[in-house]
Amino acid sequence: MSRFVLITPNTDFDQRLRQAVAGGLPGSVQTFFTSILPADPAELFGALNQEQLEVLILGPDVPVEDALRLATVFDVQLPELSVILVSELDPAFVLQAMRSGIRDIMSPDADLAQIRVMLERACQSFASRRRTGEPKQSGSPKGLVIGVFSPKGGVGKTTIATNIAVGLGKIAPMSVVIVDLDLQFGDVASGLYLNPEHTVTDAVTPSASQDSLVLKAFLTVHPASIYALCAPKDPVEADEISPEQVGRLLEQLAQEFQYVVVDTAPGLPEIGLAALEQCSDAVWVTGMDVPSVRGLRSGLDILRKLNLLPETRHVVLNMADSKSGLSVQDVESTVGAPVDVSIPRSKAVAFSTNRGIPVLQDSVKDPAVKGLKQLVERFNPAWRATAQRKLHRRVVV
């Protein structure tokens, strides 16, 4: 059972926190209505009941300097404990907080879903550190970096990427982040109905690239138990982001998350190639039309010559239609690779895209959902561990 302790004189925040926990988190909340923090952990533990303490929340109206001091003591004496500070996000302050042992920073205005997500992450972090006996080190296994690519635009690449992320969020809650690397005209924010405060521009700053806690402060929480790092709001900012910065960003995220889903710009720009070098898996999306299929063939030929193709690839035939004049065999012979997943043309998918709610989040009953679930399942550790499972199987449209 999770155990949450809140220290704050703010009764409104206490009520919100309790509602968030009651909405789906195991455990209970014990609150100390004061702005005076204990001098050491022993003083705090003496006032607790017998349930295991996992997450300590230093709430609104608690002196920040005192909060950092107490977090430093906890970091030395109880490094597995997750300490969350409720404060306005300031990138310069985040680095100082991290050095003091603060594990995460929560906005005082966070809604119930955001609070719940952050508490879930804190509990998972506590369990991980308690199991290993120390924080995750840089030598730990990296997560999967799943890039979604297409030489041609208009084939539903962002729709595929957002649904992969949402689907993986059900397999590994709070361990998935989607990154929009279509830096000029990315649509991940609209595809997930988000209005992010921070974007990729913030995530590649020196402070973020040097510290993962700062980087995490720039991620946007989504109700599907995933994180999003959206494209810049101003296309001009794309020119300020280099391929080297993108490579470093994806490397950082792979150390922190089980899955990193990358939506890329159409074609093979430098940013896309930098992302491809970091990918463990590449999802190649094509429509069932001659320009898309020929574009994919040309793109794959170029990448083969450059030796940039990831070891594991997945070819997705999107908006598949048996009446299009092409067959699966036509697509495969042109591309030079088998089609792994077919997603039929669907009004439900188009409608969900316009709403900003992916079909895998909304539990829509539609033939396209089956194809999307099959695609997501290919990244499930249980599926990949099955030796008898064939990676590439012929699909039927």
Question: CA 41, CA 73: separation in Å to the nearest integer?
Answer: 8
Instruction: Supply 244's token pair.
Output: 């080297």
Q: Give the lowest-confidence range in 143-152, 156-165, 233-242, 322-331.
A: 322-331
Contact 87, 105 (CB under 8 A): yes
What's the one-letter identity of residue 335?
Answer: V
Give the pLDDT confidence score for residue 396 in this predicted structure.
47
Q: Any residues with CB less than 8 A from the CB of 139 and at least 6 apart, and which?
A: none
Q: Give the lowest-confidence range in 137-146, 247-256, 316-325.
A: 137-146
CA distances 387 to 348, 383, 384, 391, Å, are: 35, 9, 8, 10
Domains and CATH numbers, the chain: 3-132 (3.40.50.2300), 144-384 (3.40.50.300)
Give the pLDDT confidence score for residue 129 in this predicted structure.
67
Give the pLDDT confidence score for residue 388 in this predicted structure.
44
Q: What DSSP string describes 238-290?
A: GGG--HHHHHHHHHHHHHH-SEEEEEE-SS--HHHHHHHHH-SEEEEEE-SSH
Q: Give the lowest-confidence range in 109-118, 234-243, 381-390.
A: 381-390
Contact 232, 225 (CB under 8 A): no
- Highest average pLDDT, of 95-99, 177-181, 363-367, comes from 177-181
- Per-residue pLDDT of 320-348, as tens digits, reads 877 777 788 888 888 888 888 989 988 88
Question: CA 20, CA 146: separation in Å to the nearest integer?
Answer: 31
Average pLDDT of every residue of the chain? 85
Q: Do strands 226-229 and 220-222 pair parallel, antiparallel, or not at all (unpaired)?
A: antiparallel
